[in-house]
Homo-oligomer: A and B are copies of this chain.
Amino acid sequence: MQHRVVVIGAGFAGLQTVLGLKGSGCQITLIDQRNHHLFQPLLYQVATTLLATSDIAWPIRALLRDRKDVTTLLGTVEDVDRTTREVVLRSGERVGFDTLVIATGARHAYFGKDAWEPDAPGLKTLEDATTIRRRMLLAFERAELTENEAERQALLTFAVIGAGPTGVEMVGIIAELAHRILPREFRRMDTRKARILLVEAGPRILPAFSEDLSQYAAKALGRDGVEVMTGHPVTDCSGDGITVNGQFIPAQTTIWAAGVQASRAKDWLGAEADRAGRVMVAPDLTVPDDPAIFVLGDTAHVVSDGKPVPGVAPAAKQQGSYTAQVILARLTGKPAPAPFQYRHMGNLATIGRNSAVIEYGRFKMRGWLAWWVWGIAHIYFLIGARSRIFVALSWLWVFLSGQNSARLITQKETLKEP
């Protein structure tokens, strides 16, 4: 009988596991809540009108259509039955496994302030991205309609909470939109009056970078019209605005980029987890008391060289490849691979659409050349020629025309009036 591998989650880690098991002879089932694999590193560009949703997402089935050994299921996992060795779907279906790989990612976390979520959406899914885009564009539309100056200023205030790469990348594009692209399109107001705030509780933005690059980024953002506020956490957040350092700032659009919480895998497994809900795994990425169950990517607390591995795409992909190797070694009776070792691929973040900061060990780079290196690297990592061509052309178009193209407001909220 074939060895049955069930992989939950078709993100970077899960998909890479499936790709690594090509030719293994296993019977693989890949389960995801969505029908698409998402290239999360560029999701902020969908949220900020630079790219279309279809540029950075691919139907999972289409990616794996030539892999007859893989069955793809669109479904939501409710639980894992470790006794019967089955994954339980919400539909009631049970999928048996010999080896289980859990790579269900993370959602944004509000540090116990879950009530903030409706007013400060985070950015993890395509729906999140189109929600942020819609709110942002509608804020400009409503600002054009109102005759109340205070309301207009609140509508033109955009607060991004959290200054990691995602937060920094978003404010850069929003500032460009407000200060350079939209002014020509509105007649009753000046969109250059928009305030774009980047709020960070820690002492500086881009904390994963070295201090000089972090300072460079803060200065570059300041030049582009972003107000960088560091050293104070947001203490309150509502549909009307945020409170920072005791001061209330009216803001109709708030975006959350401050923290993540792992998916519910720890509950399914009854496993030990860290504060962010990530399952503590053994050096070979398995659950300590069950070598047939792997947990990887943003769902796992993985230690390499004595340090926790960051929740970034290259780490997830490396873990997926490693997991496939471990499974293959077991099936062929080869010795187990050495414990998982994370190879850091550097830190990258864009600032607006003409600048970036890159750090790889002692190598540092910043400015427009860094943007091009960043762009070429990301095009390389996209899946398939079509996406590469379309994303490259989209960027080229923005670069030449100065126009962001993905600026449609869709879905029901469109019809609400101010």
Contact = CB atoms under 8 A, between A and B. Distances in A.
B52 A54 contact: yes
Nearest to A51: B54
A408 B71 contact: no
A185 interface: yes
Given A386-B401, A415-B33, A130 B410 contact: yes
| Number of copies of this kind of chain in the complex | 2
A405 B91 contact: no
Main secondary structure of the interface of A (DSSP, over half): mixed
B90 A407 contact: no
A73 B397 CA distance: 27
Contacts of A185: 59, 61-62, 64-65, 72
A334 interface: no
A15 interface: no
Contacts of A64: 185
B71 A187 contact: yes
Interface string A213-224: 000000000000
A100 to B, nearest CB: 19
Nearest to A74: B141
Contact of A386 (B35, B397, B409): B397
Contacts of A389: 393
Contact of A410 (B53, B91, B182, B186): B53
Interface of A: 33-36, 52-55, 57, 59, 61-62, 64-66, 68, 70-76, 89-91, 93, 126-127, 130, 137-138, 141, 144-145, 182, 184-188, 386, 389-390, 393, 397, 401, 403, 405-412, 414-415, 417-418
A141 B408 contact: no
A155 to B, nearest CB: 13
Contacts of A405: 54, 386
30 contacts: A33-B414, A35-B407, A35-B414, A36-B409, A52-B52, A53-B408, A53-B410, A57-B408, A59-B407, A61-B182, A61-B185, A61-B186, A62-B185, A62-B403, A65-B184, A68-B187, A70-B187, A71-B187, A72-B185, A74-B144, A74-B145, A91-B145, A91-B418, A126-B410, A127-B411, A127-B412, A386-B401, A389-B393, A390-B393, A411-B411
B408 A188 contact: no
